Structure 1
């Protein structure tokens, strides 16, 4: 895995040495993403520069160095990711007359772009990637992101200059990047625990949406130097909603046995593609269905024991490490586990703002960071089980939302809306659960409204952020599928496009990259995703068993006792932390005088929640954790600005 950064000026004003040095400094901020090599390319006359940091996975020789030029000299590419099907693409391109000097996927990607053009080339690629491509003929920069959003790509304006990079810390290195806090985006953090694309914590900065290509030239950079996203310059080469709708219209009609065979075959192929590397490869193993599936497929296709890694928690009633060890033992993996104490986990908390460099409040970021560090001690690439829940109806919250929506549909709409308005007047109290939570969903016009309430932290986050207006997201839609498919499909689509990309994949990317580890997710192969979308619902949920079909596949590799078990998740004891070792830290960040001085949060809203939590009321830890993650991030950002000499 790698990191990329770059600059496109609205007017070329820097000499070649200054331009290259600035881009190089932006790239160096991402050294943890690519500790093996460093590269910079610039064209001062065009006002463009690309920087790259390399974590060598394929072709460890200098022939994989980036930024890389195409064979015809037209394109320069800085690329973060892996094209898993590069070998058949290379073979096809060789028949078309292309010659290759090394065996990196970067060289293959460039040749594909030369042969077919950017969007058609990306449509042929099976992989995870973020791309910055300079077209010397058209004098045009193209930024692109993979279908699912596995690899991040930020862009924004530093004065009238476009800056971009794999993480915000690269953008911060530009001396003109002094963009303030986007309070509307902060409201989304309070609702969701993360900020979904295209929004970003900074004004005049954005995240490129998955499956999109953004084309910009110098004139467009000058015109777009305001606060608005250049939507007209974006092209979608893959759209999850449209692809799901197409798959739903062509439902799988085979038998359960045929579906099991097909999924087994799809997963084996996806895993095999992701095992290709010139460095050691392992697997994150929690003991749950998804990671056990990946480990099973890996071991079935490996002639040597697969390296597996898991984290255990001392004094925890939710420790899954023993099950992971049992699964590894049955499969014959070379298993490594590490038991950590509460103090070990808490030691990670101060590192989170620098690790994520955008406020992020999924507390499972802590154990994920620990297991990434553990795995990096033995491998350079680790496969994960991400994506199974969103594709195969794995969350119990889906079942609760469907139950509530079925009940609400029998209530006359005027009465439902009246009840919804009454509940809204109670503000955050609807978070308490039970009847209050059900009433909060009473005004729903569709399954999307019910589900949004299920996944929300703050129910009215804009009321807690001064001057904020909460932007719309996929979760704002009463029916995310726009009348196509069933309510269950609509919820899974909303999670696939938002929660998966901007929470789960962000968490894995930042924690693994902080350890210079590449993480790969075979369940998110787009062929697997589209097959899952074609399946009827009873192959995902049957008789109370979620992820029904994946579990039928897993029964081919593991005994039933290891397959059919309750889902626990990969969380962190935030309540215990905030009542214990982190109490003083939280108190400092939530001090009313500090809140008043910062002028970002409504002091009364935050202080009331903190007080109720300290009095022993349940569930307020989720409200507090995202506020605390912002406060800690803000202190980190201010320190970075001071270090850079910003006013």
Structure 2
């Protein structure tokens, strides 16, 4: 796990090593073990390494591009893993962030082709694999998480790619004739041509769904490189291409449930085993949910020494999963570290976590991941987590709702005549919405009325239209598969960015075994009935009809009660935080005046929600959080007077 960044001037103007150095330093938390800067010219087909302690220009004016790199050493801790890493004649070099779990499967093939390895890193394998078979063929072989930059002086081209699922972040911006790219947006702030300005055309989407999907971002001109895409950059310009999409490979779907469970057990076990490779200490993030608990169980089976797990708990049982953490830890026979999180932790980490996230702290529990990484970094450097399972297997209630809607909406006219049942069904299924729109809006944070109060000028049709187009892009024949694919390319990507940024804030690597390519291909090929059911149950229906096959596996590993309990979701005590004197002063002196002056949201609406919470105990915490998180981010990234945050 590392950080990469770069500059390329399309018009041939010289690239400043001093600017590149500042950009590299800005994300040093991603790789404190080593750093490297390499200047290059596609025009002249030359490059040279710059000392990180020097910024003077060599061959003044001859380099129109440069790469910066921060290294967190995970495999081969020696200096042989230094990056940017060159091939043997220096004509091709790479900056690589991530882990390729099948990299060493290709070492024998490459050695037979004449490549000599100088290190024991996956980076060198990727570099030679590109040289051997080309960029797209190389990407097709990789199973792992990555953001890659390869500069090929022979072809006079730069390649940028993001992994298949978006586990590793990668941003880019074209500012005039200058192209910038980086693992974190904050490094762009160090370039003199970049201006951090709010892109108001994306505010409505953020407000509705708490994040911007696809390539969009809240800052003007900044784009996220989508999962499964790559860029090709040269003096002729920039082209983007999709190299992979979910659901293009299929297994034998004629298997019965027992065979499917056995295959799932095999693939998940193999994925976890692959992801245990590390030359530094490794542990598991254990939330107490079935996803992280299964990862922990499989890791323990393959882990030679004592396995350690790390968890956040709360004093209030309403928020804490301590009971389930204890059960999972005991069953897996692991050493469990638990850290109590309270209001004081929210106070001390809100601003810092926002700085590291590069975007508003849209999900309050991001602070829990931030604290977990901060506390566990002195014990381990790598954490395995259960991220991705809900989107892959269908774990959210909205999947169950859309399955029920698809089944029962045509029957509603007749069912509504049944006393008692008809009214409940009518309330549950608003027939004015299509199943697709109902699914999209199920993940909206605020009601339509609250959205209009907070932002009266909101363009609802445009916001919904973008999401309708995205969902339509993922048409898979069955609406549940379509919805799963949509979430894996939108909501899950934002969660993965959050997981990456909150752990990398403390120089820790997070791995996600559920997003192994072989496992994803297998699960996506299963009949939808193994993932999400449509059985109408008014009691515990959601738990019994979501993530069905994975819960069967969890039931085998743990027990029925563990597998089918109500999902908690890692909430934080927001109302308690908002009532503190610290937040009261902060709200009055900083947040509300900032909201009013910025004019993006209605200050009176936010003030009314906050007053209602304080005076009557109305649970407005989620509404208030959205506005507050946005304003804190805006003050850090948009207001030039807040340059002090660059040292966080």
TM-score range, shorter chain: 0.7 to 0.9
The 3 A distance-change label for structure 1 pair 563 and 209 is: same
The match for 1:84 among 98, 101, 108 is 101
Q: Deviations over 1:147-197 (max 9, x none)?
A: 000000111134431111111111111111114110122222111112223
- How far residue 485 of structure 1 moved from its aligned partner, in angstroms, is 3.0
- How far residue 296 of structure 1 moved from its aligned partner, in angstroms, is 0.7
- How far residue 350 of structure 1 moved from its aligned partner, in angstroms, is 2.7
The 3 A distance-change label for structure 1 pair 478 and 148 is: closer
- How far residue 635 of structure 1 moved from its aligned partner, in angstroms, is 1.0
Match of 1:532 in 2: 523
The match for 1:491 among 483, 490, 502 is 483
The 3 A distance-change label for structure 1 pair 103 and 456 is: same
- How far residue 589 of structure 1 moved from its aligned partner, in angstroms, is 4.8
Match of 1:182 in 2: 199
Pairs aligned (count): 602
Give, in whole Å, the separation in 1 of the partners of 2:214 and 2:465. Answer: 9
Q: Is the 8 A contact 1:474 1:480 kept in 2?
A: no
Report the aligned-residue RMSD. Answer: 2.8
The 3 A distance-change label for structure 1 pair 138 and 364 is: same
Match of 2:401 in 1: 400
Does residue 115 of structure 2 align to residue 98 of structure 1? Answer: yes
Match of 2:149 in 1: 132
The match for 2:433 among 431, 435, 444 is 444
Match of 1:161 in 2: 178
Tell me, what secondary structure is at the counterpart of 1:12?
coil
The 3 A distance-change label for structure 1 pair 102 and 482 is: closer
Give, in whole Å, the separation in 2 of the partners of 1:302 and 1:202. Answer: 43
Q: Is the 8 A contact 1:6 1:50 kept in 2?
A: yes
Does residue 642 of structure 2 align to residue 634 of structure 1? Answer: no
Tell me, what secondary structure is at the counterpart of 1:32?
helix
Q: Is the 8 A contact 2:387 2:514 kept in 1?
A: yes
Q: Is the 8 A contact 2:147 2:161 kept in 1?
A: yes
The 3 A distance-change label for structure 1 pair 62 and 594 is: closer
Match of 1:20 in 2: 17
Match of 1:625 in 2: 625
Give, in whole Å, the separation in 1 of the partners of 2:453 and 2:106. Answer: 52
Alignment of 1:228-243 (within 5 A): 233-240=239-246, 243=248
Deviates more, 1:318-327 or 1:305-314: 318-327
The 3 A distance-change label for structure 1 pair 458 and 557 is: closer
Deviates more, 1:571-580 or 1:75-84: 571-580
Alignment of 1:589-600 (within 5 A): 589-591=590-592, 593-600=593-600
Give, in whole Å, the separation in 2 of the partners of 1:314 and 1:62. Answer: 45
Does residue 505 of structure 2 align to residue 514 of structure 1? Answer: yes
Q: Is the 8 A contact 1:281 1:379 kept in 2?
A: yes
Does residue 40 of structure 2 align to residue 35 of structure 1? Answer: no
Give, in whole Å, the separation in 1 of the partners of 2:521 and 2:618. Answer: 40
Q: Is the 8 A contact 1:201 1:359 kept in 2?
A: no
Alignment of 1:460-499 (within 5 A): 464-465=454-455, 470=462, 475-477=467-469, 480=472, 483-499=475-491
The 3 A distance-change label for structure 1 pair 643 and 532 is: same
Q: Deviations over 1:458-514 (max 9, x none)?
A: 455588558765556773249546653322222211211111011x11111011000
- How far residue 387 of structure 1 moved from its aligned partner, in angstroms, is 1.2
Give, in whole Å, the separation in 2 of the partners of 1:45 and 1:34. Answer: 29
- How far residue 94 of structure 1 moved from its aligned partner, in angstroms, is 1.5
The 3 A distance-change label for structure 1 pair 278 and 474 is: farther
Match of 1:226 in 2: none
Deviates more, 1:167-176 or 1:190-199: 190-199
Give, in whole Å, the separation in 2 of the partners of 1:483 and 1:636. Answer: 39
Q: Deviations over 1:292-315 (max 9, x none)?
A: 110111111122221111111113
Deviates more, 1:582-591 or 1:361-370: 582-591
Does residue 392 of structure 2 align to residue 368 of structure 1? Answer: no
Alignment of 1:123-272 (within 5 A): 123-220=140-237, 233-240=239-246, 243=248, 247=250, 252-272=253-273
- How far residue 80 of structure 1 moved from its aligned partner, in angstroms, is 0.8
Give, in whole Å, the separation in 1 of the partners of 2:192 and 2:200. Answer: 23
The 3 A distance-change label for structure 1 pair 622 and 406 is: farther
Give, in whole Å, the separation in 1 of the partners of 2:645 and 2:522. Answer: 52
The 3 A distance-change label for structure 1 pair 619 and 45 is: farther
Does residue 453 of structure 2 align to residue 453 of structure 1? Answer: no
Match of 1:431 in 2: none
Match of 1:279 in 2: 280
Tell me, what secondary structure is at the counterpart of 2:116?
coil
Q: Deviations over 1:501-551 (max 9, x none)?
A: 11x111110110001100000001111111111112332245642322223
- How far residue 377 of structure 1 moved from its aligned partner, in angstroms, is 2.2
Give, in whole Å, the separation in 2 of the partners of 1:462 and 1:378. Answer: 47
- How far residue 448 of structure 1 moved from its aligned partner, in angstroms, is 2.3
Match of 1:329 in 2: 330
Q: Is the 8 A contact 1:367 1:571 kept in 2?
A: no
Q: Is the 8 A contact 1:213 1:234 kept in 2?
A: yes
The 3 A distance-change label for structure 1 pair 71 and 571 is: farther
- How far residue 206 of structure 1 moved from its aligned partner, in angstroms, is 0.7
Q: Is the 8 A contact 1:590 1:628 kept in 2?
A: yes
Give, in whole Å, the separation in 2 of the partners of 1:10 and 1:617. Answer: 57
Q: Is the 8 A contact 1:475 1:494 kept in 2?
A: no
Give, in whole Å, the separation in 2 of the partners of 1:92 and 1:101. Answer: 16
Does residue 313 of structure 2 align to residue 312 of structure 1? Answer: yes
Q: Deviations over 1:311-330 (max 9, x none)?
A: 11113323112321221122
Q: Deviations over 1:335-380 (max 9, x none)?
A: 2112232223332223222121222311110111111222212111
Tell me, what secondary structure is at the counterpart of 1:187?
helix
Deviates more, 1:86-95 or 1:124-133: 86-95
Give, in whole Å, the separation in 2 of the partners of 1:410 and 1:346. Answer: 51
Tell me, what secondary structure is at the counterpart of 2:295?
helix
Tell me, what secondary structure is at the counterpart of 1:347?
helix
Match of 2:53 in 1: none
Q: When the two structures are superposed, what TM-score results if normalisation uses the length of structure 1?
A: 0.86
